[in-house]
Amino acid sequence: MFHYWKCTSAITQFSNHSSQQQLLVPSSFIRSSSTRKYYHTTATMTSTSLPPLENNHVTNDSSTPTTHSEKVVKPISILMINDVYEFNESPDDGVGGFIGLLKLLNKHIRHERRLGHPTIVTINGDFLSAGLLSNSYKGKHMIDLFNIMPIDLVTIGNHDFDYGLDVLLQRVRESNFKWICSNVELLDQSFKKCCEVSANTVDAEPPPESEVLLHRKHVMTFPLNNNELRVGFFGILTPQTSILTNGLKNDMHRINIHPVMEVAKKMCVELKHIDKCDLIICLSHLDMKEDLELSSVKYLDVILGGHTHYPFIEINNTNNTLIVKSGSDAKYVGKMSLVVEKSQRNQYHTKIYVDNVGLILNRDSNETSHFEQDGDETVLKMKNLIQHLNSQIPKDAYDVLAVCESPLSSATSNCRFRESTFGNLVCDILKEAYNADLAVFNGGGIRGDKTYAIDYHMKVIDVMREFPLINETLAVTIKGKYIRKFVELCLAPMTESGGYASGLYPQVSKGVQIIYDRTREPNQRIVSFEINGKPLEDDKYYKFATTNYLLEGGLDGENWLKFYTYDNEDRIKINTDDKYYMTSLVEVIKEELRKMGKINVCLENRTMDVNSEREES
């Protein structure tokens, strides 16, 4: 395959006063594949130099001498979001929200349609759960909302299984858009007609197309002079899903998640050689390390990613594969404008140019001022549904619990990378509530992605938004060596560069200090571990507060409460007499904040990476 990305650099900056369509890149991690470093940037993305388009033909390319008639081109646009949990815009800055999102999608689709360019809209997993009303509706409200939008394709995310397999399949049935996931096989015989044959099975007869709910692949065709442009899609779900969601713990015998690379290679060969696709796109719900590995697969052109909650754009140097993730909660919409140059004589002489790629800020006020469409029928329908959903928020949601005497941050860029003030608050509350020696909570469970200023009045709805996942709390009496193992497992997903966020990053309570080295091998990263100034003792028992999610498989797939309680000589004692035993995290936080009345926390170097110290010195 001779395709390549024509791009001056992975990141191109231009003036904010440019008359071109501006694709905003927020102050988040945007990776330049040429330098392999991370940048905090507010750059905007612009188009790279392209061969001039003349009547749907490309002028001669000096590197490939040919006549006009041998090449035809087709511009194509892709709009994407991933990991969407909230349908309202942020009350702080007006960013996000489904009204602005719908207007933005409508505007760009209409613009591209006027130019004769096809536009594809995707959601790359995680939108049924982890929102303010998700537990009330089990994701149905999100399907109803997205059914109003011009969504073409979605893939499954780990949190889409949070309410179990049966609920997920019901949500798929209710969808107006197509679901694709190539490495998920349903083993239950009653589901065989709902899911196309596993990517690893070649001898079974596929079910009728009309009965399929979960598709292995999808091919779109667009007219191209006397030919056609064929765009192939497949979907990939992280194999860690069985660990990352409690919703599958009773359904694991009914599902098989096949290995990422094995399936991706098979799908790309199939789409290229059997389906004759000119452009191959993967909708992935993987962590960053897995997406980078996936980008090496032959024939794969674009990865539309999810799972990690910060924006990311990279063109892989090795295989020239474009990776785009848009963050979370539709605060930004990923947009790619591609030009496919197709040889009419040879399918494998296709070239793909990046016209522009970047992130568009989703703010309803922007869309209204630039493109008035409040009278649009779909916008009115969206407004009415959101108004109804907001009326279902509990009446006590705006009750004040406590007042912030210090700034508080639940920013994803903090909670999943390092010690955070909100993480400190949560763990201090758990430690106090259970009268424990220490508490540990995973940073990925803090999901508000918000900054609270001094004098902010923390309300019930803030706690609900910060902790939408179903987490029950408990304390166990456990030996120090297992607490050490627990924290090592929390640190294991970190990469040597420290650049990839992990939902398991350990937030810890007051009095704990953990120094670690991310460049060490996983499970050997802790350099020192102290509690109240004393080293953690392997054979000493400690009272340890955390959540059932982490102890029942969220760390490594192993249910610690069963394994260590019954058959292990160092068994864990579950403190069932505690006041808050197996009480939801939201209820514990609400009750304890009411008692506190005031919130005053700061960063105390509770967790420190020795490499961060070296880099700063």
pLDDT digits over 236-246, tens only?
999 999 888 88
Shared domain for 382 and 401, answered yes or no, is no
What is the reported pLDDT for 365? 64
- Residue 506 inside a domain? The answer is yes
Select from 164, 220, 159, 155 the least CA-distant residue to 184: 155
Name the residue among 172, 186, 299 with its Cα closest to residue 232.
299
**Residue 2: inside a domain, yes or no?**
no
Q: Could you tell me the CA-to-CA distances from 112 to 56, 117, 337, 400 in Å, in that order? A: 16, 5, 10, 47
CA 92/CA 264 separation, integer angstroms: 41
Q: Are residues 381 and 401 in the same domain?
A: no
In a domain, 115, yes or no: yes
Look at residue 582 and tell me if it is in a domain: yes
Q: Which pLDDT score, from 0 to 100, does residue 32 have?
A: 35
* 346 vs 339: CA distance, rounded Å: 17
439 and 588 in a single domain? The answer is yes
How confident is the model at residue 497, as a pLDDT? 65
What's the pLDDT at 69? 56
Query: Tokens standing for 381?
Result: 């329908």
Per DSSP, helices labelled H in 284-403 are 288-294, 364-370, 377-391
Regarding whether 347 and 472 lie in a shared domain, the answer is: no
What pLDDT is stored for residue 613 in this prediction?
57
Q: What is the CATH number of the domain that holds 498?
A: 3.90.780.10
Last residue of a domain, one of 366, 388, 410: 388
Chosen domain end from 332, 364, 388: 388
Residues 533 and 557 in one domain: yes
Q: How far apart are CA 376 and CA 181, in angstroms?
A: 33
Please give the pLDDT value at position 47: 34
Q: In this structure, what token pair is assigned to residue 83?
A: 């990991």
Listed in sequence order, the DSSP H helices in 392-511 are 412-415, 421-434, 460-466, 480-491
Say what the pTM is: 0.84
Strands 302-304, 279-285: pairing kind: parallel
Low-confidence ranges of the chain (pLDDT < 70): 1-69, 197-210, 347-348, 365-375, 497-501, 565-568, 613-617
**Domains identified in the chain, total number:** 2
Whether residues 466 and 346 share a domain: the answer is no
Give the closest residue to 545 by CA, choosing from 480, 476, 592: 476
391: CB partners within 8 A, 6+ apart = none
5 within some domain: no
Residue among 333, 463, 479, 452 nearest 394 (CA): 463
- Residues 6+ away with beta carbon under 8 Å from 265: 297, 298
Residue 538's Cβ-side half-sphere holds a number of Cα atoms within 13 Å equal to: 3
The string of pLDDT tens digits covering residues 55-114 is 233 333 333 334 455 778 889 999 999 999 999 998 888 999 999 999 999 999 999 999
Do 452 and 482 belong to one domain? yes
Residue 49 lies in a domain: no
> Do 326 and 420 reside in the same domain of the chain?
no
**Closest Cα to residue 245, out of 373, 336, 129?**
129
Nearest to 43 by CA among 31, 57, 61, 55: 31
Q: What pLDDT is recorded for position 376?
A: 84
pLDDT (tens digit per residue) in 113-136: 999 999 999 999 999 999 999 999
- Same domain, residue pair 444 and 316: no
Residues 240 and 350 in one domain: yes
Show the domain range for 275: 23-43+75-388
- Are residues 506 and 487 in contact, defined by beta-carbon separation less than 8 angstroms? yes
Q: What is the CATH number of the domain that holds 203?
A: 3.60.21.10
Asked if residue 242 and residue 129 are part of one domain, the reply reads yes
User: Of 319, 354, 388, which residue sits at a domain end?
Assistant: 388
Task: Please tell me the distance from the alpha carbon of residue 382 to that of residue 380, in angstroms, as a whole number.
Answer: 5
Check if the beta carbon of residue 310 is closer than 8 Å to that of residue 417: no
HEC states along 247-293? HHCCCHHHEEECCHHHHHHHHHHHHHHHCCCCEEEEEEECCHHHHHH
Handedness of CA 105, 111, 114, 116 (dihedral sign): negative
In this structure, the answer to whether residues 400 and 370 fall within a common structural domain is no
Number of Cβ within 10 Å of residue 549's Cβ equals 22
